[in-house]
Structures are given as structure tokens and as C-alpha cells.
Amino acid sequence: MITGKELILACSAIGAGLAMIAGIGPGIGQGYAAGKGAESVGRQPEAQGDITRTMLLGAAVAETTGIYGLIIALILLFANPLIKLI
């Protein structure tokens, strides 16, 4: 027989796993942007400063969603607020 607490724990683990998927996207996106950035520096070396600056800001903002997912996953696993409700 599955109790309410066990069900919550199981669903939380699944939820944490799903939330961690959010961390993969920014990594792939940043890599793709860096590849394109390197390509554009090769085409126009004098614009390296501007390209680096724009990429830096874009990459820093893109990381945010990954961090959100990570926080949700870790809270679900180690400080689950739903367990206290039972």
C-alpha cells in the first residue's frame, strides 16, 4: 500500500528530474552561440570586442532559466515543503 508521503516523495523525485531538463537547454544554446560567435570573429576580427560583450550578456541571461530549474529540483529533493502538509 502506498502512503500519501511516499506518493509525494515519488512525484517530487520525478518532478526534480523533469526540472533538471531545464539545465540542459542553456548549455546547448550557449555552445551554439559560442560557435557562431567564433565564426563571426573569424569573418570580422575587428569586431571581437563587441561580439564578446554581446555574447557575455546573452550567455549570462540564458543561464538564469537553468538556475531556476536547478533550484526547484534541489528544493523538491532536499527541502520539500509538500511533506509538511501531510
Partner 1 sequence: MQNHRALLKAVTLRSLMLSAVFAIIFLILFRSGAPPYLLGLVFGSFLGILNFRQLGATIEKAVAMPPAKAQSYVTVHYFIRFSLVAVAILVSILSEQIQVLGTVAGLLTVKLVIYMTQLLSASSKSMNISKRKEE
Q: Which residues bind partner 1 (CB under 8 A)?
A: 23, 26-28, 30-39, 41-42, 48-53, 55-57, 59-61, 63-64, 66-67, 70-71, 74-75, 78-79
Cα end-to-end distance, the chain, whole Å: 17
Residue type for position 64: T
13 vs 51, which CB is nearer to partner 1? 51
CA distance linking residue 38 with residue 45, whole number of Å: 10
CB of 85: closest distance to partner 1 in angstroms?
19
Number of neighbouring beta carbons within 10 Å of residue 11: 12
13 vs 41, which CB is nearer to partner 1? 41
4 vs 52, which CB is nearer to partner 1? 52
CB of 33: closest distance to partner 1 in angstroms?
8
CA distance linking residue 64 with residue 59, whole number of Å: 9
